[in-house]
Amino acid sequence: MIKVTKPQSHKVISLILLFSVCCFLSSILTAYAVDIEPMRLEYSLKAGKTYSGSFTINNSSNFAVDVLADTGEYRYIFSEGMIPPDGKIGKLPSCRKWLQFEKTEFSLYPGQSIEVPFTIKVPGDAAQEHLCAVIFDEKITPDKTTDEQKTGNVQVRVIPRFSVPVYISIEDKGRISAEIKEISVMPEPQTKGVTLNITLKNTGTSHIRPYGTLVVLNQNGDVIKNLPIGKSLPLFPGYQVTIPVICPKLPIGNYSAVATVEISKDAIIQKKASFAFKGIEW
């Protein structure tokens, strides 16, 4: 009796493709060789003045690397609940030309750490918050390509890039202000509770990073939940954001929620809302 075996070519092809993808990914994925500090610059500066600062670059790898420094425009990143003024993303003024490096290319041997000085020259007529980015690119000398690599492999080089956001507000001309527009409630079947959506609007002239707590009280005024309001991405002037806070395992009943939001070291805002929870079927 002759046993017939089905062809297995499709499995072989799948293994070859999987191996090829793994090799391709290993050729493009690379680790950062350097560490940059700080990773964010936030200043309140006087108009018409010049300031100095520095970055620390540390090469934590076991090979030498060159680092290129430059300035670029700020790259806006918005959360899902972010709403721009009038429904349009409005870019704040740029301070790219304010920041200058004495030197823009640096060579670091393994384990070396260097200071990279810069200056910020604020124009005399500056009156509102300005943004930009400082960009650091790693530059590694490419290896020589062998004949075998020329005929059989494709190499893709990835240049690691750090983008450091810069926020400059003008001293004595900025205003930190915000308001909680509303606290809305939605049932949350998965947690058998509710999601409390806090809508916050920046009514000032500088960006804020709001965070705080949301306290849920029962009809007797007893605190039954004390929930954190996570720090959001930068909220720019005129923008508003809806921050969801999940309140799980909530019994049916009448409640009130008090949101306490810190918008700066010296400013806190609050809002209270009442709601009735009828269960996950409502």
Residue 111's CATH number: 2.60.40.10
Tracing tokens 């700080």 back to the chain, one arrives at 38
Per-residue model confidence (pLDDT) at position 150 = 58
- Same domain for 211 and 163: no
Per-residue model confidence (pLDDT) at position 281 = 59
- Same domain for 243 and 261: yes
- Same domain for 219 and 112: no
Residue 200's CATH number: 2.60.40.2360
- Same domain for 67 and 41: yes
Output the pTM of the full model.
Answer: 0.76
* Cα 185 to Cα 180, 218, 230, distances in angstroms: 14, 15, 18
User: Which pLDDT band holds residue 17 (cuts at 50, 70, 90)?
Assistant: very low
Tracing tokens 């500056």 back to the chain, one arrives at 126
In whole angstroms, give the CA distance from residue 66 to residue 31: 15
Paired sense of beta strands 105-108 and 193-202, if any: unpaired
Residue that terminates a domain, selected from 169, 187, 202? 169
The answer to the question of residue 6 being in a domain is no
Q: CA torsion 75→80→84→89, rounded to 10°? A: 40
- Same domain for 87 and 164: yes
Q: Which amino acid is at 215?
A: V
The answer to the question of residue 136 being in a domain is yes
| Token output for 110 | 């393994």
| 21-47 average pLDDT score | 71
- Same domain for 273 and 153: no
* Cα 167 to Cα 13, 234, 262, distances in angstroms: 52, 10, 19
Q: Which residues form the domain of 54? A: 33-169
Q: Is 72 exposed, middle or buried, given 0-12, 13-18 or 19+ CB atoms closer than 10 A? A: middle
Task: Report whether pLDDT(277) > 70.
Answer: yes
The answer to the question of residue 11 being in a domain is no
pLDDT, tens digit (0-9, with 9 covering 90-100), for 129-168: 999 999 999 986 555 444 555 555 665 567 788 899 999 9
Task: Report whether pLDDT(97) > 60.
Answer: yes
Mean pLDDT, the chain, whole residue set:
84
Q: Which of 233, 244, 120, 129 is nearest to 176 (CA)?
A: 129
In whole angstroms, give the CA distance from residue 142 to residue 13: 32
Q: Which amino acid is at 94?
A: S
| 228-247 average pLDDT score | 92
The answer to the question of residue 88 being in a domain is yes
| Token output for 241 | 């954001």
- Same domain for 153 and 42: yes
User: In the chain, how many domains are there?
Assistant: 2
- Same domain for 129 and 44: yes
In whole angstroms, give the CA distance from residue 79 to residue 252: 32
